[in-house]
Amino acid sequence: MNLHSIAVGYVASVNPLIECSFVSSTGYTTNPDGTRVPTYSAPVVVFCQVQALQYNDLMQTSSLNIQGRRQAIYITGDYAGVVRADEQGGDLVTLPDGTVWLCALVLERWALSSGWVKIAITEQNSA
């Protein structure tokens, strides 16, 4: 049973779903001077809900040494945060206001194939 599909309508009446652009990190290319440039998949449109981080989320992210503005997003599907051991991560979400956010940490994951994830995101500089 997919409880998220049942609950999302009720939650969306209070906190509406917003249309975002999601790109997955595909690694990087190395320039002739040795600098690395990240590469990404084609953008995918996803619908998500943006919320403030809760106290428990803040405690979970406190040891990551991430500075800046952070929020939580709920997205239907299976997405990952930064997993350095697997050389995975670097996925980006662009919100409707044009701000770009890094998917830093998966806070909650439900039913990998048809569920949802709660991800801590960190705003990226525009430079």
Domain ranges of the chain: 3-123
Q: What value, to the nearest 5°, has the Cα angle with vertex 109 and ends 25 and 120?
A: 55
> Residue 23: what pLDDT?
93
The rounded mean pLDDT for the chain is: 81
> Residue 105: what pLDDT?
85
Averaged over 80-90, what is the pLDDT?
A: 70
CATH topology of domain 3-123: Thrombin, subunit H (2.40.10)
CB 122 within 8 A of CB 90: no
Asked if the model's pLDDT at residue 120 lies above 70, the reply is yes
Q: What value, to the nearest 5°, has the Cα angle with vertex 81 and ends 52 and 20?
A: 60
Which pLDDT band, with edges at 50, 70 and 90, does 95 fall under? very high
Averaged over 13-20, what is the pLDDT?
A: 86
Averaged over 97-101, what is the pLDDT?
A: 94
The CA–CA distances, whole Å, from 104 to 83, 118, 119 equal 9, 11, 7
Q: What is the pLDDT of residues 27-82, one digit of tens each?
A: 889 999 999 998 999 999 999 999 888 767 676 666 666 667 889 998 887 777 76
